[in-house]
Amino acid sequence: MEENLKNQNQNFIKIFLEELSRNSLVFIFLAIFTGLVIGGILAAATTESIYQAFDVSFSEGVKASFELIWSTYSSLFQGSFGKPNEMAASLFSGDKDEVLGAFRPFLESLVTTIPYLFSGVAIALGFKAGVFNIGAEGQLYMGAIMAAWAGFTFKGLPPIVHVPLALGVGFMAGAVWGFIPGFLKAKTGAHEVINTIMMNYIAFNLTTFLVTGPFQDPNESFKTPVIEESAKLYRFFDPPMRFNIGFFIAIAAAVIIWYILYKTTWGFEFRAVGLNPNASRYAGINATLVTILAMSISGALSGLGGATMMLGVTFRQTQSLSTGYGFDSIAVALLANNHPLAVILTAMLFGFMRHGSRLMQLQTGIPIDIISILQGLIIFFLAAPAIIRTLYRLKEPKNEFEGVLTSVEHREGARMNGN
Amino acid sequence: MASVLELSNITKRFPGVLANDHINLRLEKGEILALLGENGAGKTTLMNILYGLYSPDEGKIKVSGNEINISNPRDAIDNGIGMVHQHFMLVPVLTVTENVMLGNEFTKSGVFLDKQKAAQKIREISDQFHLNIDPDAIIEDLPVGLQQRVEIIKILFRNAEILIMDEPSAVLTPQEVDELFKIMRNLVDQGKSIIFITHKLKEVMECADRIMVIRAGKVVGEATPVTADTKKLAAMMVGRPVELKVQKEKSDPGEIILEVKDLTVLDKGKKIVVNNVSFDVRNGEILGIAGVQGNGQTELVCSLTGILKAESGQVSILGKNVTTSNPRQITELGVAHVPEDRQDDGLILPFPVHDNLVLNTYYLPPFSKGALIQPELVKSNARELVKDFDIRTPGITAITGGLSGGNQQKVIVAREFSRPIKLLIASQPTRGLDVGSIEYIHRRMVEKRDEGTAILLVSTELDEIMQLSDRIAVMYRGEIIAIVDADMVTKEELGLLMAGVKTEISGKKRKPRQVREIVT
């Protein structure tokens, strides 16, 4: 029995690794590495003290640049994981509060990862089915505001009912926001990129309207009431720790979507339509339905992401939920080559960078925007594989059909150009 | 005198494949050299090297005795090498002159286009080689055969001495092919030289001065039409003896399986593309639909298989009205469909072979239980079919897009033929395939017929239609203008019908059916 269980466990890990290695892990690693190098150079180039050091002498300048880059990335690391020596010491001391204190940056980074994870999986699912969901941001907004509504409206429910209800409302709100562009694409051919962008604007402005109007807290303007205690997601530690069960819901969502995509007939249909809608139609698959479903589920996942932010972290909707999560998640999905399990890792990369960047700015004065530049560079290198390949003398993979960000047409074009 | 073109020891490697292995080639002034080989033999790679699209790993290229370096098509053109691609590179809405000038414009005072001068030159070229092209005609108004001549003019306009023609006959009617051969003869008589790429034995015998056979990247033989025969050439191409005759008995048609009544289909632009068509197919017979590409065959098949909605009329399969059914409902009645465009409509190229083999049955037991796909059964099914249908693939998990065209087609054939089917609709089932694969697919189709399947075969290859069909319907401009017994009609008569000329069928057959030869 035990043997069996162990085998199964190993099997799962094996599958996980296999799935990952298919996405040319080395390649992604090199893209990230190159991004960090160039990001470092940019950070140095935009800092005045570096120029002053170069005025003294060239070697001074180089030294100062390396020091700056080192401190930038080490504070980024400390901000996202914690201070390694403190973490180790706290583990030895065994004091619970000390451990939590030392690991707080790490746990907070996981909290930041949650929306990336939901929206990343949502967008990856869309790509797999051949739709480009740029509307994750708006879907996230709708999920959040509607979850807030469910959270403060229903009173006296036990948490076991209230939490799923509020999450479900957020899920549905996102689904509706995805369904509309999906339906329009399938039935009229209207391009989903345009329509999801439009839906984003509607979501932003609708949220503003709701927060300043129907959903406004009677005692405080431009905010919704705080949600009921019974609607809050379970938090594992006392405040100020915000690490909550939402993280595990997000992981579960990624695994479930992976399972559906690769193990079920629905997933087969999704992937078939995503890769070749014509052949899918010829094979009797209802491509119209798949498009609508894919957009709806994609929207629903993003909505769920918004709902977990609301119920697990913010507890009330203010006029600006901030974010940009939905847009960054396009990069999260692409970086993972649209593989739901790989999204778990790339979402963490983004979550950790985003959370760590605050400390980085505080300690080194390097603006938080450098993180956006870093992310941009990484995506850039992934989108232009030839650069990385030339830089590191990598051989072209034998079969590129699932290559990062490249489609069949692109490659044939490249070959025609005498590649 | 030096040969006009000499390639020595050309070698080109792609990852895992040796596409050209030390190929030597000589082309003399004023000759037609046919490059014969199966798909994937390396003919096109060699020509792409010559045209500057690839650079060779080893080897030299000499033009008129001078060694040259070709790194892009512009170099090739400057050295007098021109290429007529299989798919024309013309802008349909522009005139002949505008198309020919494109990229090589004559100008007045440096800025204004000088169309007059270009048109004059085109007229001269046209007269010199009897091409009969009006420089002011709009491309889209010209028939395919004339469009091809515009392509030829385009390269002559650039002073090409060496013409590479890549499968030039693929898109033409038999009459147009004859015309093309006359033009090619004209060109070489006036000092041009031609390399003619093909896998069609008959054409080689008809028009080449010299034949070079390539297999697996190597030159495996040379011959002249006088010394060679098709059987020997086919064996050289494939690497084993090939059966060139389709062995089949007379058909024994039974009940009607597919019945089409007054079917009219519109295309996207609401133009009538299938006009009031009626026919039926019985079990145990093959009905061939002959016609030049683009006469409504594609849309007819799409509407029979539920992909395109019919405007009016009725389609019944096994007595059931399926005019408004969707593809899945039609498939479930026992209809198999081999689509015309295997890469676009028949396969999901990035999928592994095993998934493409269940592309329309994945949701049925045993391949799935409820909504769960049973990967082991999908794979064992694939292993079986790969063996039964002789699909050459590195493995069942290999990406389908990496297989050769013939093997991709075998994946489709395996998927469609391995189900219990009552009706097979096969559209261009052997287009672009090599002799070995054609032989195989034809044999399988006749087998299916003999098992009692009704088969509708749509093909633009007249030879294929004549060999396989029991009855032949000719489609022209959306209408079926004749349905005849295959025994009662000659190739010439069919050719005329395909061109829209309604002729009396003489009723004389050329030779006994069973031994009619495949000429591919």
pLDDT in tens, A238-287: 888 899 999 999 999 999 999 999 999 999 999 999 999 999 999 999 99
Question: Which pLDDT score is estimated for A240?
Answer: 85
Q: How confident is the model at residue A8 (pLDDT cuts 50, 70, 90)?
A: low
The tokens describing B408, both together, are: 């991709």
Residue B110 is predicted with a pLDDT of 77
Give how far Cα B329 sits from Cα of B280, B307, B311, B334, Å: 20, 11, 19, 9
The answer to whether A265 faces chain B, any CB pair under 8 Å, is yes
pLDDT on residue A409: 32
Assigned token pair, A400:
């590129």
A322 touches chain B (CB under 8 A): no
Half-sphere exposure of B450 (CA within 13 A, CB side): 11
A397: which DSSP letter? P
In chain A, the percentage of residues whose pLDDT exceeds 70 is 87
Contact check, Cβ <8 Å, B373/A278? no
d(CA B317, CA B330): 8
Q: Which amino acid is at B5?
A: L
Closest by CA to B518, choosing from B433, B459, B442, B445, is B442
**Which value does ipTM take for this structure?**
0.80
Residue in chain B closest to A419 (alpha carbons) equals B54
Residue window 290-319, chain B: list those with CB within 8 Å of chain A.
305, 307
Q: Which residue has the higher pLDDT, A228 or B37?
A: A228
- The token pair that represents A336 in the structure block: 């993972």
Residues ≥6 apart with Cβ < 8 Å to B422? B257, B283, B317, B318, B333, B334, B335, B453, B454
Residue spans of the domains in chain A: they are 114-348
Determine contact: A288 vs chain B, CB below 8 A. no
Say how far apart CA B15 and CA B4 lie, in whole Å.
Answer: 32
Sheet holding B5-14, edge to edge: B17-27, B5-14, B58-63, B66-68
Which residues does A376 contact at the CB level (< 8 Å), separation at least 6? none
* Chosen CATH of B5-238 out of 3.40.50.2300, 3.50.50.60, 3.40.50.300, 3.30.160.20: 3.40.50.300
Domain residue limits, chain B:
5-238, 256-334+420-515
All residues of chain B having their beta carbon less than 8 Å from the beta carbon of residue A279 are 344-348, 359
Using the beta-carbon criterion (under 8 Å), do B368 and A279 form an inter-chain contact? no
CA distance A4 to chain B (A): 20
Runs of H (alpha helix) within A81-214: 84-93, 96-128, 136-153, 159-188, 192-212
Residue B390: which region, alpha, beta or left (left: phi > 0; alpha: psi -120 to 50)? left
Residue type at A215 in one-letter notation:
F
Of the listed ranges A319-328, A332-341, B65-74, B261-270, the least confidently predicted one is: A319-328
A279 touches chain B (CB under 8 A): yes
Structure confidence at residue B202 (pLDDT): 83
Q: Looking at chain B from residue 218 to 237, which residues have their Cβ under 8 Å from any Cβ of chain A?
A: none
Q: A282 vs B402: CB contact, 8 Å cut-off?
A: no
Query: Which of A264, A282, A399 minimises the CB distance to B371?
Result: A264
Nearest CA in chain A to B374: A263
Q: Do B372 and A268 touch (CB under 8 A)?
A: no
Gap from B6 CA to chain A (nearest CA, Å): 22
- Give the pTM: 0.78
Q: For residue B408, list chain A residues with Cβ-Cβ distance below 8 A.
A: none
Query: CA of A272: which chain B residue's CA is closest?
Result: B348
For A170, phi then psi, to 5°, come to: -65, -40
User: Using the beta-carbon criterion (under 8 Å), do B399 and A399 form an inter-chain contact?
Assistant: yes
A98-136 burial, b at 16+ Cβ within 10 Å, e below that, comes to bbbebbbbbbbbbbbbbbbbbbbbbbbbbbbbbbebbbb
Interface probe for B, chosen from A271, A278, A282, A408 (most Cβ of B below 10 Å), is: A282
Is residue A401 very low, low, confident or very high in pLDDT (cuts 50, 70, 90)? Answer: very low
For an interface test with B, which of A23, A128, A262, A265 has the most B Cβ atoms less than 10 Å from its Cβ? Answer: A265
CB pairs under 8 A between A and B: 86
Crossing angle of the two packed helices A159-188 and A287-309, in degrees rounded to 10: 140
Distance from CA of B223 to the nearest CA of A (A): 32
Q: Distances in Å between the alpha carbon of B106 and those of B97, B213, B419?
A: 11, 41, 60
Q: Work out the burial of residue A275: count CB atoms within 10 Å of its CB; fewer than 13 is exposed, 13-18 middle, 19 or more buried.
A: buried
Residue B239, classed as helix, strand or coil, is coil
Q: Is the pLDDT of residue A414 over 60?
A: no
pLDDT tens across the length of chain B (520 residues): 678 999 999 998 877 678 899 999 999 999 999 998 877 788 888 988 999 888 899 999 999 889 998 888 889 999 999 999 877 889 989 999 999 988 878 888 777 888 888 999 999 999 999 888 999 999 988 888 889 999 999 999 999 999 999 888 877 777 788 889 999 999 999 999 999 988 888 888 888 999 999 988 899 989 998 888 888 888 888 888 877 677 788 888 889 999 999 999 998 888 899 999 999 999 999 999 998 888 899 999 999 999 999 999 999 999 999 999 999 999 999 999 999 988 889 999 999 999 999 999 999 989 999 999 999 999 999 999 999 998 888 889 999 988 877 889 999 999 999 999 999 999 999 887 778 888 889 999 999 999 999 999 999 888 889 989 999 999 999 999 999 998 888 888 888 888 888 766 655 544 444 434 444 4
| Selected residues 71-90 of chain B with any CB under 8 Å from a CB in chain A | 71-72
Residue A199 or A367, more confident: A199
Residue B68 bridge partners (DSSP): B61
Amino acid at A334: L
CATH number belonging to domain B256-334+420-515: 3.40.50.300
Residue B54 and residue A396: Cβ atoms within 8 Å? Answer: no
Do B5-238 and B256-334+420-515 show the same overall fold?
yes
Put simply, the chain B residues between 401 and 460 with a CB less than 8 A from any chain A CB are 401-402
Q: Name the residue in chain A with its Cα closest to that of B352.
A: A401
User: Residue A208 — very low, low, confident or very high, per pLDDT cuts 50/70/90?
Assistant: very high
Three-state DSSP class for residue B316? strand
